[in-house]
C-alpha cells in the first residue's frame, strides 16, 4: 500500500500518486520493492533493512539521495500482553521527493506541525520528531501500567503480576536501545546538515529533536531503574509475606496439636486418672484448654 502526500503552501496534504512528492510505502510487496530499487536506484540491502525490527538506526549518503533507518515504536495491541516492541522505518530523501518505508500502517504525518513544513527536509525532520513523541507517549503508558500492577501486587502474591512487571521492564530495555540508536543517527545528521543543505530553521529544529530525544532516553532510563528496583522490592515483600504466612500456619498447627495430645493421652485403653470420675470429660477439656493458654502465654513471652 502506498500513501501519497504533497507539499502545497507549507502544508502537507494528501495527493494522487502522479502529483505527489512524499510517498509512504506500508509493508511493500516484492513487486513494489523491485520497483523502488529499479526506478529510484535504492540499495536493496538498505531497503530490506528498513523492514527489519532488529536493525539499528543509521544514516548513509548515496550519489543522488540520502538514506536513513529510524527506530520507531511499534503500535501496541492487547495481544502483545504488555510487551512494547520497536520497529524500523526507512526514509530516502531525494531533491524532489521523499520516500518512506514502514512495515505497519502508522499515521506518520499527523499533527499541526506538518501544516508549517517548508521543504522536504522539514517534513523528514518532523517525521523523526513525531516518532520521538510517539516513544514518549508509550513511556507514559508504561508508567501508568506499572503503577496499576504495583497496586495489585501490594494485595496479592500471585506470580503473574511480577511477570507483567518483568515484561514492562523488558519493553523499557528495547526502548532505551532504540532511542539511543536514534540519538547517534540525529547526531550524524546534524554533523552533515551543511552537506544536506539544511536551512537555519531546520538546523534549529534538528537541535530541538536532539534535545527531545535525549530527554526521552533519560525518561526511559529512569522508568527502567525504578521498575527494576520495584521488582526487587516486591519480590522481597512477597517472600516476607510468605514467611509470615508460614509462621502463622505453624503457630496454629502447634496450638491444635497441644490439646490434641492431652485428649489423646486420656483416650488410651489403659487405666487413666479421672477414669471413674463423673466429670472426667469436663476436666479433660479443661486441661486441653489450659494447655492452649499455656502455649499462648509462652508464645507471647517469646514474642514469636
Q: What is the pLDDT of residue 303?
A: 66
Q: Is the pLDDT of residue 40 over 80?
A: yes
Q: What's residue 152's pLDDT?
A: 78
Residue 128 belongs to domain spanning: 2-240
Please give the grid coordinates belonging to residue 85: 516492541
Q: What is the pLDDT of residues 124-149, one digit of tens each?
A: 999 999 999 999 999 999 999 888 88
Domain boundary among 218, 240, 262: 240
pTM of the model: 0.77
30 & 144 share domain: yes
The more confident residue out of 260 and 74 is: 74
**What backbone phi and psi angles, to 5 degrees, belong to 226?**
-65, -45
Domain boundary, last residue among 197, 221, 240: 240
pLDDT on residue 127: 92
The predicted model gives 181-185 an average pLDDT of 94
Question: What's the pLDDT score for residue 288?
Answer: 79
Taking Cα atoms as reference points, which of 2, 33, 32 lies closest to residue 16? 2
Whether residue 36 is found in the same domain as residue 103: yes
> 3-class secondary structure for the chain?
CEEEEEEECCEEEECCCCCCCEEEEECCCHHHHHHHHHHHCCCHHHHHHCCCCCCCCEEEECCCCEEEEEEEECCCCHHHCCCCCEEEEEEEECCCCEEEEECCCCCCCCCHHHHHCCCHHHHHHHHHHHHHHHHHHHHHHHHHHHHHHHHHHHCCCCHHHHHHHHHHHHHHHHHHHHHHHHHHHHHHHHHCHHHHCCCHHHHHHHHHHHHHHHHHHHHHHHHHHHHHHHHHHHHHHHHHHHHHHHHHHHHHHHHHHHHHHHHHHCCCCCCCCCCCCCCHHHHHHHHHHHHHHHHHHHHHHHCC
The larger pLDDT score, comparing residue 139 to residue 289, is at: 139
Q: Are residues 7 and 56 in the same domain?
A: yes
Same-domain pairing of 202 and 290: no
Domain count, the chain: 2
Q: How is residue 97 written as a grid cell?
A: 521527493
Same domain, 126 and 207: yes
Residues 184 and 250 in one domain: no
Three cell numbers written together for 177: 536501545
Question: Based on the domain organization, do 85 and 101 belong to the same domain?
Answer: yes
**Do residues 166 and 156 both lie within one domain?**
yes
The set of cell numbers assigned to 198 is 539544511
Domain with residue 223: its CATH number is 3.30.460.20
The reply to whether 130 and 263 lie within a common domain is no
| Residue-level pLDDT at 113 | 73
Query: What does the pLDDT read at residue 304?
Result: 60
With 60 as the cut, is the pLDDT of residue 213 above it?
A: yes
User: Does residue 170 register a pLDDT over 60?
Assistant: yes
Separation of alpha carbons 48 and 55, rounded Å: 10
C-alpha dihedral sign at 223, 166, 178, 14: negative
In the predicted structure, residue 174 carries a pLDDT above the cut 90: yes
Tens of pLDDT along 217-259? 999 999 999 888 877 777 777 777 778 888 878 877 877 777 7
Asked if residue 248 and residue 141 are part of one domain, the reply reads: no
Residue 94 CA to residue 66 CA, distance in Å, equals 7
CB atoms within 10 A of CB 172: 26
pLDDT in tens, 56-106: 999 999 888 999 999 999 988 777 788 899 999 999 999 889 999 999 888
Amino acid at each position: 500500500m502506498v500513501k501519497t502526500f504533497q507539499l502545497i503552501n507549507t502544508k502537507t496534504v494528501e495527493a494522487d500518486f502522479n502529483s505527489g512528492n512524499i510517498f509512504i510505502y506500508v509493508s511493500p510487496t516484492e513487486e513494489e520493492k523491485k520497483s523502488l530499487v529499479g526506478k529510484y536506484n535504492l540499495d536493496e540491502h538498505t531497503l530490506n533493512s528498513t523492514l527489519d525490527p532488529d536493525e539499528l538506526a543509521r544514516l548513509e549518503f548515496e550519489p543522488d539521495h540520502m538514506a536513513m533507518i529510524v527506530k520507531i515504536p511499534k503500535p501496541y495491541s492487547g495481544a502483545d500482553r504488555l510487551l512494547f516492541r520497536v520497529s524500523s522505518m526507512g526514509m530516502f530523501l531525494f531533491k524532489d521527493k521523499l520516500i518512506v518505508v514502514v512495515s505497519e500502517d502508522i499515521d506518520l504525518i499527523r499533527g499541526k506541525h506538518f501544516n508549517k513544513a517548508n521543504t522536504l527536509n522539514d517534513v523528514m525532520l518532523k517525521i523523526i520528531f513525531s516518532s520521538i513523541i510517539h516513544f514518549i507517549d508509550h513511556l507514559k503508558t508504561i508508567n501508568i501500567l506499572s503503577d496499576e500492577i504495583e497496586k495489585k501486587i501490594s494485595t496479592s502474591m500471585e506470580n503473574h503480576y511480577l511477570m507483567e512487571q518483568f515484561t514492562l521492564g523488558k519493553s523499557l530495555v528495547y526502548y532505551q536501545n532504540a532511542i539511543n540508536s536514534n540519538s547517534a543517527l540525529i547526531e550524524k545528521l546534524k554533523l552533515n546538515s551543511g552537506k544536506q543543505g539544511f536551512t537555519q530553521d531546520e538546523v534549529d529544529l534538528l537541535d530541538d529533536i536532539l534535545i527531545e530525544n535525549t530527554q526521552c532516553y533519560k525518561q526511559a532510563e529512569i522508568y527502567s531503574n525504578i521498575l527494576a528496583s520495584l521488582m526487587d522490592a516486591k519480590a522481597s515483600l512477597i517472600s516476607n509475606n510468605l514467611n509470615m504466612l508460614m509462621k502463622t500456619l505453624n503457630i496454629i498447627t502447634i496450638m491444635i496439636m497441644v490439646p490434641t495430645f492431652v485428649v489423646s493421652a486420656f483416650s488410651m485403653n489403659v487405666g487413666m486418672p479421672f477414669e471413674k470420675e463423673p466429670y472426667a470429660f469436663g476436666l479433660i477439656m479443661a486441661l486441653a484448654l489450659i494447655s492452649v493458654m499455656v502455649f499462648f502465654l509462652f508464645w507471647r513471652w517469646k514474642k514469636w
